Amino acid sequence: MPAPDFRDLDKNSILGDKATELPKPLTSCEKNTKRLERCRINQKRYRERQRAIRSSIEQIMIQINTLTRKQRHLTKRKESRDPCRVVGDMFNQLEAYFRLLGCRSDKKVQLDRGREQEMVESMKNSFVFDVVLGDVNGVDAVMELLHRNSQYFDDPTVHLKQLEEVSSGIVTASATLHVTISVSTLCFLFPRLLRTSLSKHCPPFALGKRLLGEQLECECSITFFFDKASGRVARLQTSINWIGALFRVLGNLKEVSNVLDGALIIV
């Protein structure tokens, strides 16, 4: 049998279907597209690493500042004033602070940010670093809570009526808090009063309209627990009589109950 003559066979005949499976060389446009995609992915990873580094640095700086402030508090001299004097001075500072914040509603008066910060720092000096108020812990958090709550009302004022040192290192202050109900009050503290109601007898929305612009006079009590080592306030307990204040405006307990239902305040 004669040997086959391979000269008559072309490349495709020898390789068969495998020749069609060979990858085609990329065009210049396709190469550029792949290169740009790799660059985009690398840039995205770089930006993510940079954000992570910046976030870590910010967290470290916060921790450094916190530890520095804590050290500063720990190295302060013991408060020389007696507890009643400390609380009385704090109420004077608080009254002045509320008056300063009230300037924001007057376009003719520019808020003195430096003066505000000075007042805040002065009040901070009366607390230990990890002072506790309810579920809030830390002097910065307590001051932030005070500032935030003052923004929920118009024209907040507080007047100290009586101080009593019930035992060594424990002072109870009786005061009157005056606040005016604003739209912010309804939004943040009484959100239910902004909704339409299914009740035909006492719709919350109507109650919200009645309260808007009304001034509440709230009797309140604050107990200050002092740290013996530093002579500063370590814990506070507050009680505000919202029921009595609302009753004087609305005139009946049923409407007061409807207002307080779902309210974001402690009664």
Domain spans in the chain, listed from the N-terminal domain onward: 25-75, 79-260
Task: Let me know if 40 is exposed, middle or buried by CB neighbors in 10 A (0-12, 13-18, 19+).
Answer: exposed
In this structure, are strands 127-133 and 233-240 parallel, antiparallel, or unpaired?
A: parallel
Task: Specify the pTM.
Answer: 0.67
Distance CA(29)–CA(61), nearest Å, equals 48
Where does the chain have alpha helices with state H?
A: 11-15, 18-21, 28-74, 83-102, 113-124, 139-151, 183-188, 204-211, 242-250, 253-260
Q: How far apart are CA 53 and CA 220, in angstroms?
A: 47
Report the pLDDT averaged over residues 164-182.
94
Q: Does domain 79-260 bear CATH number 3.40.50.2300?
A: no
Length of the chain: 267
Of the chain, the percentage scoring pLDDT greater than 70 comes to: 78
- Residues 143-155, mean pLDDT to the nearest whole number: 90
Least confident of 81-85, 192-196, 243-247: 192-196
DSSP assigned state of 199: -
The structure tokens listed for 37 are: 């995609």
Taking the C-alpha atoms of residue 238 and residue 146, their distance in angstroms, rounded to an integer, is 12
Mean residue pLDDT of the chain comes to 82
Per-residue pLDDT at 3? 58
Strand arrangement of the beta sheet that strand 136-137 belongs to: 136-137, 127-133, 233-240, 215-226, 170-180, 154-167
| Contact assessment for residue 156 and residue 182, using Cβ atoms and an 8 Å cutoff | no
* Residue 242 confidence (pLDDT): 95
**pLDDT grade for 142, boundaries at 50, 70 and 90:** very high
pLDDT in tens, 78-116: 767 889 999 999 999 999 888 887 665 444 445 567 777
Question: In this model, does residue 208 exceed pLDDT 50?
Answer: yes
